[in-house]
Amino acid sequence: MILRLILAFLAAVVVTAALAAAASTQFVLAELGRLGVDIGIGDRLAMTAYDMLGMGMTFLPVVGVGFLLGFGVAALVLHYLLPGWPMLGYSLAGFTAILAIILIMIAAFGLVPIAGARSMIGMLSQCLAGAAGGYVFARILTWSRAAA
């Protein structure tokens, strides 16, 4: 059971960091497009892959800490208040954890260090990446309970 929990957590962190990096890249490239820079699909894909590895690897520990806290609180809420709602609970926890991370970084640094999160829709995309990670976490946990 503990191995599945660790696997679910690691998968959630990796999925979130990869999706957040890819989304950030697309928002940055969209801004460059608005400035008249022509970016072909090959370059767009290459930059996305590069950022998923670069920014994604940098973002992994940050997401990990946020998810430890967020999923811990979600586990308590789900156990005591909302049993039977793991998909929604962990998805909301992932969304909220990323939002908290971004807001804490803004408070600490006085700016949004994730370029793709500097607009409201960009910030939403980062939070949705967190929700996707929370969903992956819940899904793997659900599979592990069904298999047990």
Measured CA to CA, the distance from residue 69 to residue 65 in angstroms comes to 7
pLDDT at residue number 96 = 98
pLDDT at residue number 114 = 82
| Average pLDDT per block of 10 residues along the chain, 148 residues long | 92 96 90 86 88 83 96 95 92 97 92 83 95 97 67
pLDDT at residue number 20 = 94
DSSP characters for 31-91? HHHHTT----HHHHHHHHHHHHHHHHHHHHHHHHHHHHHHHHHHHHHHHHT-TT-HHHHHH
pLDDT at residue number 100 = 96
Domain containing residue 59: 2-147
Total domain count for the chain? Answer: 1
pLDDT at residue number 145 = 60
